Amino acid sequence: MRKSFLVLALIYGMMLAGAAYWQLYSDLDESPANPRYYLMFRQERGPIFDGCGRTLAFSAAEDGVYVRCYAAPSLSHVVGYFHERYGITGLERLYQEELSQGRSLFTTLDLELQKRAEELLQGVNGAVVALRPATGEVLALVSSPWVDGSALDENWPDYLADVRSPFLNRATQGLYPPGSTVKPIVYWAAAALGRVDDETSWSDPGVLNLPGGMISNAGGRAHGQISIAEALAYSSNVVFAELAVDLEEQLLKCFRLFGLGQQIDFELGNLEGFVPAGIASPYHAAQLGIGQGELLVTPLQMAQAAAALANGGILMRPYLVKELRGGLRLRQITRPQVVQELLPKSAANTVRKAMALAAREGTAQTHLSGSLDYAGKTGTAQTGRSAADHAWFIGFAPVDAPQVAVAVVIEHGGAGAAAAAPVGAEIMLKALQMSE
Amino acid sequence: MGLLYRTWFEFTGWAAALVLWLFILQGQVIWWQPAALWAVFVVLWFLTTRLGGDPGALPLAAVLVFCGWVFLTRLDPALAEGHSYGILLGGAAFCFGLLVPWTRLSLGRLWAWAALALLATTAVLGESAGGAKAWLNLWGLRFQPVELARIFLVFYLGDEIHRGGNKWEPLLYLTSFCLILAWQRDLGPAVLVFLVFCWMWLQLSFSWGKLLGLTAAVLVGFYSAFRLFPHVESRVLAWLKPWHYLDSKGYQVLQGLFALRAGGVVGQGLGEGLVHVIPQGHTDYLFAIIGEEFGFLGISALLLCYLGLAFWAVRIVDRLEGRERLIGLGLTLLLHVQVFLVVGGILRLFPFTGLTLPLVSFGSTSLVAQLWMLGIIARLGCRGGEE
């Protein structure tokens, strides 16, 4: 009889284990067959704020049910959207559990800056990423076109039919050849390895002949005898091609140090891009040195690299979520994280000065050059097709103690100086105004 | 031990008073229901103690019955009212079991014939509900004869297995019993009785060969039922691939699991669950609803109450000898194997058989039969193995 009881107890134990499995470990909450999943979309959830406490996402009561609303349409690429028919994306998805428990999420974004960038990208395909160099906080992240998380019902068929792919987050998932925006990194590599110094001067005949091909400056212009800083400011292809040929494999290593072709530990994820494993020929190296060849980067990677140059070579991890508050648990605060210290510090400072020169009198000049103290570098990336080139800009401001670093890409925008640089300058201006 | 029981009893009393007060405040319930429930178990407690029995089952049964009543009130106060009459009747049934020396009635085959007659009457004159023709209407009294018939059958089996006469005779009656149930499309009780029989037979004298043979028989029976009866097939498919049939066969299984998952550790709270999406929530799937609203802790408490009942019954039965020992075991198993079949089915450990959760689910006949069985076991405890 004791054995019978033991068997009974054993079976009850198994029942208990089964209940524990389903109740505590199973993952059935988000099953589409679960009616609770749909109810979840009608319940109130925690708000999402920007770095200054302005509301980015909130639950609005409509006829007794809650509907999620967003402060700006471009936020759909960052904050995401939350809709019973179209699902959950972005931070809404990443922090689903916390938000559904009513906790509030404080992000690093600046709503005003985000809106300004949205305004500047209206009507073009492209992306803007603005970071705070000292910490890696993402101040704005806009990918154009976007879907409006507050008006999905009305526009969903249009979004699906849109050939410009409004669902694609170009800032983290868009891969572009970087063009001349890699030149600051090449310069940094040469400076860090002691291959150049301020006095080094180069003669630039406008064309560089190499076995396998020819590198020429934009418009075939010869710059004559110039310093390396001037070569950056005027974006001399010949000089940087020569530097790259000289650097060989070191060049690729430096690209990787700056995060190109590397996985970035970012909340929304980020494509790795492409940096080739080795250099095949001097011509290959020359092409890579001017940001062509098979190089592919995301705007977030370029923003991170620009921020590292602004921050004296300290590469910070970009992050979006500053803090979780509310509920029974303690506040969770994200701390800035150093990915890599790129030494020597003087190399970054040298590049910073050259980029400031580019903004003052070089190719990165804009209508704001007189009034705004910034550093920058433009890029015009050939797409390899007959379509217009991609326009790039990376920069930071103010030059001596940078508060903001940006990367701008405008697809088929033509020359970086004309299309992307003014956008970047406007964003830096707005960011400095906001931080005052 | 006595102190422990008393604490249990007082605890349930306070809980009952609290919930009663809350419900009355909301004007949702007629006050006599919990009061009657309470009175029934107090009276039974004193009666059992007076007769020199072990009343330990009563607080545990009270918790379970009370839990069922609370959930039925929460689902539909009209259901709870009907259930309350069942509780009163169940109290009477417990006394009936306690005062009449059932196990001394050595009626032999008569028990089996009574069981078969009850079933056969139902099969011919019965009414259908929920896919099974399991109801009998006698002068306005509507009940499920199978709940009583299986107790009769256990009396017979205990008698017969103990006597060790013709080995095939109990099997013959058992098979006829199961076949009639199969014909009525009510396979849950058939599985239950068969498993209880196997266990009793093994209890008499255990051998691995026997266990192996019985396991084989269970598997063969299972497979042939699967091939023969479409509703068994659909239950098996719902168990194996609920996602494949999430709108049809698998709906109930999945909704039960969703409800359990929604409960988590402490549950959504009474009245906060999404209970009306589960088919048969007040009978077969009440366990899932309790799981959603009271969580894993509530489920654990519920299963511990059952385990306590098993402990109480085994302690009594262990002191008995011979026929009564087997019958006592059979009655105990009838309750607990049913819990396993229900809970295991809802937890997707094996196909769901469509039985109710003993003492908790809605259903007066079932409640009356369960309390009668507890009364019989309590009676066995009163004499303390003097035979």
User: B318 in contact with A at a CB cutoff of 8 Å?
Assistant: yes
User: Is a pLDDT exceeding 70 seen at residue B6?
Assistant: no
Cis peptide before A398 (omega within 30 of 0): yes
Q: How far is B309 from chain A (nearest CA, A)?
A: 11
Q: Do A8 and B291 touch (CB under 8 A)?
A: no
Distance CA A113, CA A369 (A): 20
Q: How far is A26 from chain B (nearest CA, A)?
A: 7
Q: Do B329 and A20 touch (CB under 8 A)?
A: no
CB A405 within 8 A of CB A133: yes
pLDDT > 90: percent of chain A: 75
Q: Do A4 and B274 touch (CB under 8 A)?
A: no
Query: Which residue in A has a C-alpha nearest to residue B325's C-alpha?
Result: A1
- Among residues B12, B8, B26, which one has the least CA distance to residue B74? B26
Distance CA B87, CA B69 (A): 9
Residues of A in contact with B300 (CB under 8 A): 16, 19
| Closest residue to B260, CB basis, from A1, A11, A23 | A23
Q: How far is B262 from chain A (nearest CA, A)?
A: 7
What pLDDT is recorded for position A405? Answer: 97
Please report, as a single letter, which amino acid is at residue A233: A
Residues of B in contact with A10 (CB under 8 A): none
- Could you tell me which residues are beta bridge partners of residue B243? none
User: B248 in contact with A at a CB cutoff of 8 Å?
Assistant: no
Q: How far is B125 from chain A (nearest CA, A)?
A: 37
| Closest residue to A4, CB basis, from B303, B314, B343 | B314
Q: Do B291 and A9 touch (CB under 8 A)?
A: no
Q: What is this model's ipTM?
A: 0.90
Q: How far is A1 from chain B (nearest CA, A)?
A: 6
In chain B, DSSP assigns E strands to: 127-129, 132-138, 141-143
Q: Tell me the average pLDDT across A42-52.
A: 92
Q: Do B258 and A15 touch (CB under 8 A)?
A: no
User: Is a pLDDT exceeding 90 seen at residue B161?
Assistant: no
What pLDDT is recorded for position A349? Answer: 93
Q: Do B349 and A19 touch (CB under 8 A)?
A: no
Question: Is residue A251 one of the residues assigned to a domain?
Answer: yes
Alpha-carbon B240 to chain mean position: 25
Q: How far is A273 from chain B (nearest CA, A)?
A: 39
Q: Do A15 and B303 touch (CB under 8 A)?
A: yes
What pLDDT is recorded for position B288? Answer: 94
Question: Is residue A76 one of the residues assigned to a domain?
Answer: no
Q: Enter the tokens of residue B256.
A: 């039960």
Q: Do B274 and A35 touch (CB under 8 A)?
A: yes
Q: Do A16 and B299 touch (CB under 8 A)?
A: yes
| Closest residue to A23, CB basis, from B246, B264, B349 | B264
Q: Do B263 and A23 touch (CB under 8 A)?
A: yes
Q: In what order do the strands lie in the sheet with A55-62?
A: A65-70, A55-62, A48-49, A104-107, A321-325, A332-333
Q: Do B291 and A23 touch (CB under 8 A)?
A: yes
How many CA within 13 A on the CB side of residue A388?
A: 13
Q: Do A15 and B343 touch (CB under 8 A)?
A: yes
Q: Enter the tokens of residue B125.
A: 């004159």
Distance set, CA B2 to CA B48, B49, B55 (Å) = 13, 11, 9
Q: Do A8 and B310 touch (CB under 8 A)?
A: yes
Q: At A341, which CATH number?
A: 3.40.710.10
Q: How far is A28 from chain B (nearest CA, A)?
A: 6
Cis peptide before A145 (omega within 30 of 0): yes
Q: Could you read off the pLDDT of A220-252 as tens digits, one per residue?
A: 888 889 999 999 999 999 999 999 999 989 999
Residues of A in contact with B257 (CB under 8 A): 22, 26, 28
Q: Which domain holds residue A213?
A: 173-321+335-435
Least confident of A57-71, A134-148, A323-337: A323-337
What is the overall mean pLDDT for chain A? 92
What pLDDT is recorded for position B296? Answer: 94
Residues of A in contact with B246 (CB under 8 A): 33
Distance CA B264, CA B259 (A): 9
Residues of A in contact with B339 (CB under 8 A): 15
Q: Could you read off the pLDDT of A384-407 as tens digits, one per residue?
A: 767 788 999 999 999 999 999 999
Query: Which residue in B has a C-alpha nearest to residue A39's C-alpha?
Result: B274
Q: Tell me the average pLDDT across B318-329.
A: 89
- Among residues A309, A308, A299, which one has the least CA distance to residue A420? A299
Query: Which residue in B has a C-alpha nearest to residue A30's C-alpha?
Result: B258
CB B369 within 8 A of CB A34: no
Query: Which residue in A has a C-alpha nearest to residue B304's C-alpha?
Result: A12
The DSSP element (H or E) to which B304 belongs, if any, is helix B286-318
Select, from the ranges A25-34, A107-116, B81-90, B160-169, the one with the highest average predicted confidence (pLDDT). Answer: A107-116
Q: For residue B384, name the pLDDT band (cuts at 50, 70, 90).
A: very low
Identify the three-state secondary structure at position B264: coil
| Closest residue to B261, CB basis, from A11, A23, A39 | A23
Distance CA A97, CA A359 (A): 46
Q: Do B310 and A9 touch (CB under 8 A)?
A: yes
- Among residues A252, A253, A265, which one has the least CA distance to residue A294? A252
Q: Tell me the average pLDDT across B2-27.
A: 64
Q: For residue B29, name the pLDDT band (cuts at 50, 70, 90).
A: low
Q: Do A16 and B310 touch (CB under 8 A)?
A: no
Q: Enter the tokens of residue B215.
A: 């396991």
Q: Do A8 and B349 touch (CB under 8 A)?
A: no
| Closest residue to B277, CB basis, from A1, A11, A35 | A35
CB B79 within 8 A of CB B282: yes
3-class DSSP string for chain A? CHHHHHHHHHHHHHHHHHHHHHHHHCCCCCCCCCHHHHHHCCCCCCCEECCCCCEEEEEEEECCEEEEEECCHHHHHCCCCEECCCEECHHHHHCHHHHHCCCEEEECCCHHHHHHHHHHHCCCCEEEEEECCCCCEEEEEEEECCCCCCCHHHHHHHHHHCCCCCCCCHHHHCCECCHHHHHHHHHHHHHHCCCCCCCCEEEECCEEEECCEEEECHHHCCCEEEEHHHHHHCCCHHHHHHHHHHHCHHHHHHHHHCCCCCCCCCCCCCCCCECCCCCCCHHHHHHHHCCCCCCEECHHHHHHHHHHHHCCCEEECCECEEEEECCCCCCEECCCCEEEECCCHHHHHHHHHHHHHHHHHCCCCCCCCCCCCCEEEEEEECCCCCCCCEEEEEEEECCCCCCEEEEEEECCCCCHHHHCHHHHHHHHHHHHHHHC
Using the structure block, give the residue that is written with the tokens 């923003």: A303
Q: For residue B26, name the pLDDT band (cuts at 50, 70, 90).
A: low
Q: Do A22 and B257 touch (CB under 8 A)?
A: yes
For chain A, the farthest-separated pair of C-alpha atoms sits apart, in whole angstroms, at 103
| Closest residue to B303, CB basis, from A16, A28, A31 | A16
pLDDT > 90: percent of chain B: 34
Please report, as a single letter, which amino acid is at residue B334: L
Q: How far is A302 from chain B (nearest CA, A)?
A: 44
Q: Could you read off the pLDDT of B234-247 as tens digits, one per residue?
A: 889 999 998 898 88
Distance CA A66, CA A57 (A): 12
What pLDDT is recorded for position B122? Answer: 84
Residues of B in contact with A4 (CB under 8 A): 199, 203, 314, 329
Q: Tell me the average pLDDT across B247-275.
A: 89
DSSP designation for B130 = T
DSSP designation for B29 = S
- Among residues A168, A157, A75, A151, which one has the least CA distance to residue A113? A75
Least confident of A386-390, B37-41, B366-370: A386-390
Domain count of chain A?
1
- A interface residues, B as partner, C-beta within 8 Å: 1-2, 4-5, 8-9, 11-12, 14-16, 18-24, 26, 28-29, 31, 33-36, 39
Question: Is residue A124 one of the residues assigned to a domain?
Answer: no
What pLDDT is recorded for position B130? Answer: 60
Query: Which residue in B has a C-alpha nearest to residue A32's C-alpha?
Result: B246
Residues of A in contact with B307 (CB under 8 A): 8-9, 12
Touching A: B residues 262-301, CB under 8 Å? 262-265, 274, 277, 291, 295-296, 299-300
What pLDDT is recorded for position A125? Answer: 95
Q: For residue A304, name the pLDDT band (cuts at 50, 70, 90).
A: very high
Q: Each residue of B313-336: b (16+ CB within 10 Å) or e? A: bbebbebbeebbbbbbbbbbbbbb
Distance set, CA A37 to CA A70, B63, B102, B135, B342 (Å) = 21, 33, 53, 38, 26
What pLDDT is recorded for position A254? Answer: 95
| Closest residue to A28, CB basis, from B261, B274, B311 | B261
Question: Is residue A36 one of the residues assigned to a domain?
Answer: no
Question: Is residue A88 one of the residues assigned to a domain?
Answer: no
Q: Do B296 and A19 touch (CB under 8 A)?
A: yes
User: Is a pLDDT exceeding 60 seen at residue B355?
Assistant: yes
Phi, psi (rounded to 5 degrees) for A58? -150, 160
Q: Do A35 and B295 touch (CB under 8 A)?
A: no
Phi, psi (rounded to 5 degrees) for B377? -65, -40
Contacting residues for B348 by C-beta, under 8 A, at least 6 apart: A18, A22, B239, B242, B253, B257
Q: Which of B186 and B327 is assigned the larger pLDDT?
A: B327
Q: Tell me the average pLDDT across B59-80.
A: 89
Question: Is residue A60 one of the residues assigned to a domain?
Answer: no
Q: For residue B131, name the pLDDT band (cuts at 50, 70, 90).
A: low
Strands A104-107 and A48-49, by their bridges, are parallel
Distance CA A372, CA A125 (A): 26
Distance CA A121, CA A74 (A): 10
CB A59 within 8 A of CB A47: yes
Residues of A in contact with B265 (CB under 8 A): 23-24
CB A75 within 8 A of CB A114: yes
| Closest residue to A26, CB basis, from B261, B306, B307 | B261
Residues of A in contact with B243 (CB under 8 A): 33
Size of interface A-B (CB pairs under 8 A): 94
Question: Is residue A50 one of the residues assigned to a domain?
Answer: no
Q: For residue B3, name the pLDDT band (cuts at 50, 70, 90).
A: low
Contacting residues for B210 by C-beta, under 8 A, at least 6 apart: B201, B202
Q: For residue A366, name the pLDDT band (cuts at 50, 70, 90).
A: very high
Q: Each residue of A181-194: b (16+ CB within 10 Å) or e? A: bbbbbbbbbbbbee
